[in-house]
Chain A
Amino acid sequence: MLLDFEQPIADFESKLNSFKELNAKNLENQAIQQAINTFEQELIKLKKETFENLTRWQRVQLSRHPERPYTLDYLENICEEFIEIHGDRNFADDPAMIGGFGTIEGQTVMFIGQQKGRNTKQRQYRNFGMANPEGYRKALRLMKMAEKFDKPVVCLIDTPGAFPGIEAEERGQAEAIARNIRDMFMLKVPVICIIIGEGASGGALGIAIGDKVLMLENTWYSVISPESCSSILWRSWEYKEQAAQALKPTAKDMLGFGLIDGIIPEPLGGAHTNPKETFDTVKKVIIDELTKLSAASPQERILNRIEKFGKMGVFVE
């Protein structure tokens, strides 16, 4: 699938490929080779121009790209081993929130994250990455288990929001998220949170209190999605682009506000154009950050965590 701003690049790439085929048939024709070289340079230029100047709404679209790597893709590619752990020990297992112990360069880490589906059937099974209360409760159970065995926690966030349904309310969606937020502040082990796709509101924040909160380059994180914001403030779904501009939810915006700790660069064209490069970058970041964080004592980490979020806010007195 191609987004509208990906189309010109794809067209260019297919032209380049036909030249390459021609070149293979004509065995190193110099004129063709030269044309290919120019084309390749032009392509890089076009990509840079496109992706450096994306509007906020276009970044939101990239964050939801159907080919974008999801939580399990990361785990399969960055962990040597991974054992998924299910259930909240209370009500059910939530397939929209996954977790388990994995090893990364020999080090055991508790991984937790929302999971989206690739096709219609999977999407339904994963509830579009919208967790229910049992998902948040499973996440907290796993975090406390990680704490017990002194293993760090890494959360991968990718959700269009916590699920707004009757059963979710019945089982205390608000309470589940609130408890996670509070209890994550007191975790004695290092916690790294990475927004890998969509970071929608409380549904994201419910697993996003960390010593380091990072965003991949083409993701968004805010209090509401541009669509919902548009429907509330403009009373129509049509103003999503304006809403995205107004909410300033991109990684660059959020870092500028001091609401996150860093941006993880993506391959030119977005994470989905070169998943391997993305996995390698994320893996390196996790290892580096864990090394840095384990230098501090649990008490220092907890205090820094509380202080960091305590500074967030703009007001006049």
Chain B
Amino acid sequence: MSWFNREEKNIKTQTTEKKETPDGLWYQCPSCKYVMTTREHKVNHSVCSSCGHHERISAADYFAVLFDDNTFTELDANMSSGDPLTFTDSKAYPKRIVATQANTGLKDALRTAHGKMNGIEITVSCMDFSFIGGSMGSVVGEKIARGIDNAIKMQTPFIMISRSGGARMQEAGYSLMQMAKTSARLALLAEAKLPYISLMTDPTTGGVSASYAMLGDFNVAEPNALIGFAGPRVIRETIGKDLPKGFQTSEYLLDHGFLDFIVKRTEVKTKFTQLLSMLKP
């Protein structure tokens, strides 16, 4: 026997009179649980207005952060991966690529564009984590190389936004050599005396950090991003010890002298503009 009895059965409100909250009106910060409207979150470039948590965003979103009126010209937009090793793990690599392309609407893990940032002509390559963990294979390497070529040709600064777990295993040796290819082009960019800003975002590890991401004239990062050579799991397994608190965060790297500064996404455009203006010949 229950304590309370319902007097009338069923819900009496008509479906037409039901008050609905539209999907996606609210955003709850995964870090501090603060609730804000998705509009507010978007206007804030996907940064939590309470704790400053930086949500991972796409290359398209980053282009909107940097380029004036979100106007830019994309380069090599149709470049797509080959399958030089006929690599198969749980899935054949070409199938994985096609499925990921369909899911994400992206061709690969990086987009390059040039346009104006507060009137300054810039070339930007930005990684997309949603495409196989932002992994670097031939397409990523080649697009960065061509992005740098474009910067040299048009005499613009080059901005690289990294967000990647590292090299793409499915292209094995080819992926490894993208570290060499991109670093070689950066050497040419340096010879041309054009500024290179490397912006590291969460996460930047493995072959990406051990090549172009760490080669900036300015190595900068978003707050609290995971940045390192080896991933935390690998290190923990190797040394058999727990890792110190805050290990491999942006702040940790700044403390140890490997970052020039940390910049909030909401201030990136202003700060980069200031910096590049000071470097104008």
Contacts and interface: CB of A to CB of B under 8 A. Distances in A.
Given A201-B207, A246-B89, A312 B230 contact: no
B214 A222 contact: no
Given A173-B230, A249-B173, A257-B84, A234 B89 contact: yes
B90 A201 contact: no
Interface string B234-264: 1100110101100110000000111000000
A90 to B, nearest CB: 11
B220 interface: no
Interface string B165-180: 0011101111111111
A170 B247 CA distance: 9
A179 interface: yes
B174 A312 contact: yes
Contact of B172 (A162, A206, A222, A310): A222
A201 B171 CA distance: 12
Contact of B180 (A179, A209, A234): A209
Contact of A247 (B138, B172, B219): B172
B174 A170 contact: no
B215 interface: yes
Interface string A154-190: 0000000010111011111111011101110110000
Identify the interface centre among A186, A206, A247, A310: most chain B CB within 10 Å of its CB: A310
B81 A171 contact: no
B213 A166 contact: no
A97 B154 CA distance: 41
A174 B85 contact: no
A172 B256 contact: yes
The main secondary structure of chain A at its interface with chain B is helix
Nearest to A233: B89
A313 interface: yes
Interface in B150-173: 167-169, 171-173
A261 interface: no
A165 B239 contact: yes
A305 B177 CA distance: 12
A27 interface: no
A121 to B, nearest CB: 20
Contacts of A312: 138, 141, 174, 177-178, 180-181
A304 B70 CA distance: 39
A134 to B, nearest CB: 14
Contacts of A179: 214-215
B259 to A, nearest CB: 10
Interface in B116-156: 138-139, 141-142, 145
B256 A222 contact: no
Contacts of A186: 187
B238 A223 contact: no
B153 to A, nearest CB: 15
A316 B107 CA distance: 11
Contacts of A228: 234
B78 interface: yes
A10 B238 CA distance: 35
A181 B180 contact: yes
A177 B229 CA distance: 9
A253 B173 contact: yes
Identify the interface centre among B76, B81, B85, B186: most chain A CB within 10 Å of its CB: B85
A182 B184 contact: yes
Interface size class of B (residues with CB under 8 A): 35 or more
Contacts, number: 190
Identify the interface centre among A179, A205, A228, A314: most chain B CB within 10 Å of its CB: A314
A126 B109 CA distance: 38
A181 B179 contact: yes
A247 B175 contact: no
Contacts of A257: 84, 173-174
Given A162-B229, A169-B248, A223-B167, A313 B141 contact: yes
A229 B142 CA distance: 24
Contacts of B76: 317
Contact of B238 (A165, A171, A229): A165
Contacts of B188: 306
B88 interface: yes
A317 B212 CA distance: 23
Contacts of B173: 221-223, 247-249, 253-254, 257, 259
B106 to A, nearest CB: 14
Nearest to A232: B169
B239 A223 contact: no
Given A169-B230, A178-B211, A234-B89, 5 more contacts: A178-B179, A178-B183, A183-B187, A222-B173, A247-B85
What are the 9 A-B residue pairs with the smallest beta carbon separation, nearest first? A164-B230, A313-B138, A314-B82, A174-B209, A174-B229, A173-B229, A312-B177, A314-B84, A178-B214
Interface of B: 76, 78-85, 87-90, 138-139, 141-142, 145, 167-169, 171-181, 183-188, 206-207, 209-215, 219, 227-230, 234-235, 238-239, 241, 243-244, 247-248, 256-258
19 contacts: A162-B230, A166-B243, A170-B256, A172-B256, A175-B214, A175-B258, A181-B179, A182-B215, A202-B179, A222-B172, A224-B169, A248-B85, A254-B173, A259-B173, A259-B176, A305-B184, A310-B184, A312-B181, A315-B139
